Amino acid sequence: YGEGLGVEKDDAVAFQWMEKAARAGIDTAQVELGIWLANGRGTTKDEKAALGWMQRAARSGNAIAQNRLAKMYALGIGTQKNAAEAGKWHIIAQRAGLDDPWLSEFIARLDPVERNKALADANRWPGG
């Protein structure tokens, strides 16, 4: 429904199906649901709910969600800006093989205390 392949395009219906998949624990659906909520696609824009779904997917090990979550913390989307938390999730995503030049530059500009906190928190992450 979201792409209109074989059916009439309907973002609201696509959102409903995506939400069912996300609630069933499918991490890729959780990422997409978070993106759709952040943008208000197929539903009312809700950045706080978007953050929650991105956190779920990130905690399950989805590197794309980890990267997106880092950006949400860096930019204050759905939450207050939190540079150390952004750094933590960026490092975790990098270790999973997903690099992001914008976030790398953002982290490089952090003061040493925030950067060290981000690294310490990332090192406490399972597999860190």
All structural domains of the chain:
11-124 (1.25.40.10)
- Angle, CA 23 vertex, CA 44 and CA 124 arms, to 5°: 100
Residue 115's Cβ-count burial label (10 Å; 0-12, 13-18, 19+) is middle
Task: Give the pair of three-digit tokens for residue 104.
Answer: 């790398």
pTM over 0.85: yes
pLDDT, one tens digit for every residue, the chain (128 residues)? 455 455 577 889 989 999 999 999 999 999 999 999 999 999 999 999 999 999 999 999 999 999 999 999 999 999 999 999 999 999 999 999 999 999 999 999 999 999 999 999 999 988 65
Q: Kindly report the three-state secondary structure assignment for every residue of 9-57.
A: CCHHHHHHHHHHHHHCCCHHHHHHHHHHHHHCCCCCCCHHHHHHHHHHH
